[in-house]
Amino acid sequence: MVDGRYEVKLPWKEGAASDLMDNREAAEARLSGLVRKLDKEPDLRERYNAALRLVVRGPLLASVRHKARINIQKPKLPHWEKARFQRLTKPRLPDPVDARLAPHAGCFHAVEVPPAREDNPLEVLIGKQLRKTCENSRLIIFFHRNSITLTEVHKAWQMLKRAGFTYHKLFNNRIAGHAFSETRLSPVLQLCRSHTALVTCPEPRVAQLLSLQKRLPQLVVIGGVVEDRFMSVADLERYAQLPSVDALRAQFCHLLSAQAAGLSASLGHHQAALVRSLAAYSEPAAAGRQGQEES
């Protein structure tokens, strides 16, 4: 007999007791025959009672291990009475917001406000220096820096330094905020991220910088500011194809001087023609007088 996790074991002490437990019908028939026989023999009845006391006193409860595993993922549904009791005793919490308050006034809708972060004095100083450098520069180019070693960074810095450019190392967003916030360059904060490099120059030599950038594949141009004008990569490429400012000034001066020369020539055309005509008439007369004097 198994009851939950316990098994009832009957110690079979006598052969008669084991025969009684084999078959119920046979046990009842044998029991009735023994009763009649015990009524006739008193000594046999005493021995049977002693054996029966051993059998009744003998059953013991022995703890055995339950072989079936408990299903944790899909537990068995509880009994209906137990499920009803659990349903009735389930705690019912009040509403998160009182009906008399607004929906955003409850504790469940509270927003945690992070504490104000104090500015690092070193970051503020570096931001001011970067702002001063950018204000004095006519060319500011932003690069996205890919994976690069320190040796390659040093070579790029030397190359740009010899060409007259200034390469600035990577700055965090807080330093970029101190440098460009509340200035005319505030839109460039969208380009300043953790992997953004900066190159400045006092002269707008875009073509030279783009030619040097071809030798630095780790640096990718993402935008820039030329003469206080924001330019994309395509705008920078078109600007690089234009001649220099000095060449444009020379062409403009030549154009203005050519118009002035043409205007002066048009105004003095008739006077010059009259002078040439008079010179042609005066030459034969002068030659005749010179011949008469020689003769």
> Does residue 46 sit within a domain?
yes
Domain enclosing residue 137, as ranges: 121-241
Mean pLDDT of the chain: 75
> Does residue 21 sit within a domain?
yes
Q: Pick the last residue of a domain from 220, 241, 262.
A: 241
> How does residue 243 score in pLDDT terms, banded at 50, 70 and 90?
confident
Q: Pick the last residue of a domain from 241, 266, 283.
A: 241
> Does residue 134 sit within a domain?
yes
Same domain, 53 and 126: no
User: Which of 19-28, 150-159, 165-174, 244-253 shows the lowest per-residue confidence on average (mean pLDDT)?
Assistant: 19-28
> Does residue 7 sit within a domain?
yes
Provide the angle, in degrees to the nearest 10, between the axes of the packed helices 150-163 and 206-213.
150
Taking a C-beta distance cutoff of 8 angstroms, is the pair 189, 176 a contact?
yes
> Does residue 258 sit within a domain?
no
In this structure, what CATH number is given to the domain that contains residue 141?
3.30.70.1730
Fill in the DSSP letter of residue 97.
S
How many structural domains are present in the chain? 2
Once rounded to an integer, what is the mean pLDDT over residues 21-26? Answer: 58
Q: Pick the last residue of a domain from 23, 43, 63.
A: 63
Distance CA 202, CA 164 (A): 9
Instruction: Give me the residues paired with residue 200 across strands.
Output: 140, 166
Once rounded to an integer, what is the mean pLDDT over residues 57-74? Answer: 62
Cα angle for residues 90, 96, 102 (degrees, 5° grid):
155
Provide the angle, in degrees to the nearest 10, between the axes of the packed helices 24-40 and 42-57.
140
Q: Is the dihedral of CA 97, 101, 105, 107 positive or negative?
A: negative
| Predicted pLDDT of residue 66 | 58
Taking a C-beta distance cutoff of 8 angstroms, is the pair 156, 141 a contact?
no
| Predicted pLDDT of residue 94 | 64
